[in-house]
Homo-oligomer: A and B are copies of this chain.
Amino acid sequence: MEKRIGRRTLRLSHPPAIISHACIGGRHEGKGPLAADFDELSQDSFFGEKTWEKAESTMQKRVLGRALEKAGMNEEDLDFIFAGDLLNQCIGSAFSLRDFAVPFYGLYGACSTMGESLSLAALLLDGGFGTTIAAMTSSHFCTAERQYRMPVPYGSQRSPTAQWTATAAGCSILSSRGEGPRITHVTCGKVVDKGIKDANNMGAAMAPAAYDTLSAFFRDTDTGPEDYDLVATGDLGKLGHEILRDLFARDGVTLGGNCTDCGLLLFDLERQDMHCGASGCGCSAAVFNGHLLRRMEEGSLRRLLFAPTGALLSPTSSFQGESIPGICHAVCVEVLS
Contact = CB atoms under 8 A, between A and B. Distances in A.
A3 B126 CA distance: 12
Contacts of A100: 191
A105 B188 contact: yes
A275 interface: no
Contacts of A101: 190
A4 interface: yes
Interface string A40-76: 0000000000110110000000000000000000000
Contacts of A315: 88
A92 to B, nearest CB: 10
Count copies of this chain in the complex.
Answer: 2
7 contacts: A54-B322, A84-B108, A89-B312, A91-B314, A95-B325, A103-B190, A108-B108
Contacts of A123: 123-124, 127, 129
A316 B90 CA distance: 11
Interface in A76-121: 79-80, 84, 86-91, 94-95, 97-98, 100-110, 116, 119-120
A128 interface: yes
A31 interface: no
B91 A89 contact: no
A116 B127 CA distance: 17
A250 to B, nearest CB: 19
A327 interface: yes
A228 to B, nearest CB: 21
Interface in A113-159: 116, 119-120, 123-124, 126-130
Contacts of A120: 105, 120
Contact of A322 (B3, B95, B316): B95
Contacts of A200: none
A98 B326 CA distance: 9
Among A90, A101, A190, A191, find the residue whose CB has the most chain B CB atoms closer than 10 A.
Answer: A191
Contacts of A88: 88-89, 314-316
A258 interface: no
A317 interface: yes
A193 interface: yes
Contact of A103 (B8, B86, B90, B109): B8
Contact of A127 (B90, B107, B129): B129
